[in-house]
Structure 1
Amino acid sequence: DLDNATDATRAHMSQISADIKSAVKENNERTLKAIEELQRYAELQVALTTFLVSGVEELKKALNEGWSLYEAQKTYLCGYCISPGVYIEKEGLTLNLYAWLRLYKGCIDHRVQWPFQRKIGLSVVSPRDCSKRGFQVPDGYSGKYFKKPTEVKNECCYFIGKFLSLNDLSSEGYVENDSFLVIWELLPLEAPK
């Protein structure tokens, strides 16, 4: 009888252990899903990113072709998977700095509005006094660049019409140590200019 009781106790303990492991696994999965949901919610709320454009002299040399590009690291802004950047184009003796972007297929594309419709704000920050020079790209753009990506990424684009003079930014101290700091943000369509 003692052997039977010991075997029954072992079987019961094994079942309890299996039930605990199963409950822990289930709880971990629920917790992970909740964390992922919170992260996605946070990604919907983040509207701006900053990046340092370094190698300004090299970018200027690349302008022999008429233009150069600085693409920042891919990130989520307002739920969109975006690679922000700046596009520099030579116009006579002036170097114009435009907002640039590429949309990527993202893990929360089902939660954002398509086609992409946001104003874009671009500012360059002075390293001396943190003052800013910037502009907003008006809304109303359309085309293949702003549709929901069906492949890994859409074609890139830059926004004509609004720009900063890289020559002026350099002479006014916004470029220091061959680099400048950019604030690149998505704004709602109702945002004041």
Structure 2
Amino acid sequence: MCGHTFCQQCYESFVTPSECICPLDGDVCGRDDVTRKEYKVEQLLIRKVHCWNEANGCAVVLPASQIAEHVRHDCKHHVTCCPTCSADVLSRDMCAHLKSRCRTLVLHTAAEKPRGTNNHENLHLVALERQVEQRVRELDVRLAQLSLESSSHNDKLLEVCHNINYLKEAQEEQFGALAEKFERSSVQAIDRLDRNVAEIKALYTEKSEALMTALHSVLSSFPSNPRTHQWVLKGYAVLKAKALKYGWSLSMSEKVYLLRYLMSWGIIFHKDGDSVNLHLRIQLREGREDEFLEWPFTKKMKLSIIHPETRQQLHRVATPALSENNRECYWRPIKSSNTPVHFSCTEIELGDIERGGYLKRDQLLLRLEVLL
């Protein structure tokens, strides 16, 4: 069976005493194979149907309740008879058709469509429109009832609004009394707070030295204070060549916190006869925790050159030696940084570095450790 659905009038047009022939695909079935179904108006109105101008090229598919509105206002495929050649032409194409002297834009499908089919469809649509009008009248009656009910609800709502306004006025009076009481309490609380602040300030002034000592102890115990920093010195050959030519060359690391002291450290290449040595250079900088640190800076430091494969180390230990000439190098920085200081005691000959295999890809792996 084909499964198509037709109205009673269409069914009677193609049924015979012995069989039914579907007009859509020509399938033949017995009359007992056809079932009769009753559809409510609401079900018919939500069924999707093609636009009445489908044969003229409109591909819109809408619920049956919306198709009339679409045809009246939105559809662009209405057909008009040309006043010159009497051919069927889409209304939107009529001007272009006339300008071409009736040679283009003729709608053949519209002319070839049997008139009887349109009449048959119009009968169904008229019946459908009557049913829609009946439903509209029923809706008008229901809307009138809702209007009466709404009027009753409005009266009740107005009464509620009056009650709310009364409560609002009563609350405003209560809030006014509470505001006065709160203001008096606030003045008294502020006076007590001022006295407490003065007492706390005096106590803080008295105990500030002990507090600073305790704070220093706590900061010193933080596990996040690094004591070591590794740095890769690049351009070894260029630095060595500069030292041989000019007597010295310098390479510095970025700024780093070591044991909460902010510093920059690096390596000085120094020419000594035909050979070149390197030694440590540091520069203390102004840091965020300087007020909690011990000054002058007297921590020992260990400079290490790490073998890239065996991790063996060449290391030297530097001890700050304060004197009248270099004292400002180790005190707390007043400006952004102090004068840098060199440690000749950390001297290492480049020949030892190269023979020991510490040089790889023109780079040295260095590490500075602040000793406790």
Q: Name the TM-score class by shorter chain.
A: 0.7 to 0.9
CA contact (8 A) 1:79 1:111 kept: no
Q: Secondary structure of the residue that 1:61 maps to in structure 2?
A: helix
- From 311, 319, 336, the counterpart of 1:138: 319
The equivalent of 2:288 in structure 1 is 107
- From 220, 234, 240, the counterpart of 1:54: 234
- From 362, 365, 369, the counterpart of 1:178: 362
1:90 and 2:90 matched: no
1:72 and 2:256 matched: no
Q: Alignment RMSD, CA only?
A: 2.1
Aligned positions of 1:150-161 closer than 5 A: 150-161=334-345
1:164 and 2:348 matched: yes
If you compute each CA radius of gyration, which structure gives the higher value, 1 or 2? 2
More moved, 94-103 vs 161-170: 161-170
Q: CA deviation at 1:48?
A: 0.7
- From 288, 293, 298, the counterpart of 1:117: 298
More moved, 139-148 vs 178-187: 139-148
Identity across matched positions, percent: 26
- Normalised TM-score (structure 2): 0.40
Q: CA deviation at 1:42?
A: 4.9
**Comparing both structures, which one devotes a greater share of its residues to helix?**
2
Q: Which amino acid aligns with 1:165?
A: E
- Normalised TM-score (structure 1): 0.74
Q: Which amino acid aligns with 2:354?
A: S
Structure 2: runs of 5 or more not aligned: 1-162, 172-217
Q: CA deviation at 1:141?
A: 3.2
Shift in CA distance, 65/42, structure 1 to aligned 2, threshold 3 Å: farther
Q: Secondary structure of the residue that 1:160 maps to in structure 2?
A: strand
Q: Which amino acid aligns with 1:97?
A: L
Alpha-carbon displacement from aligned partner over 1:42-69 (angstroms, at most 9, x marks no partner): 55x3111000000001101211211111
Alpha-carbon displacement from aligned partner over 1:58-117 (angstroms, at most 9, x marks no partner): 101211211111100100001110101111111112211111101100000011111111
Q: Secondary structure of the residue that 1:105 maps to in structure 2?
A: coil
Q: Which amino acid aligns with 1:69?
A: L
Distance 1:47 1:105 in 2: 18
Structure 1: runs of 5 or more not aligned: 9-36, 189-193
Distance 1:2 1:104 in 2: 69
1:126 and 2:307 matched: yes
Q: Secondary structure of the residue that 2:316 maps to in structure 1?
A: strand
Distance 1:72 1:162 in 2: 17
Alpha-carbon displacement from aligned partner over 1:126-183 (angstroms, at most 9, x marks no partner): 0121110111013433422111100001111211133111221012110110001001
Distance 1:167 1:85 in 2: 19
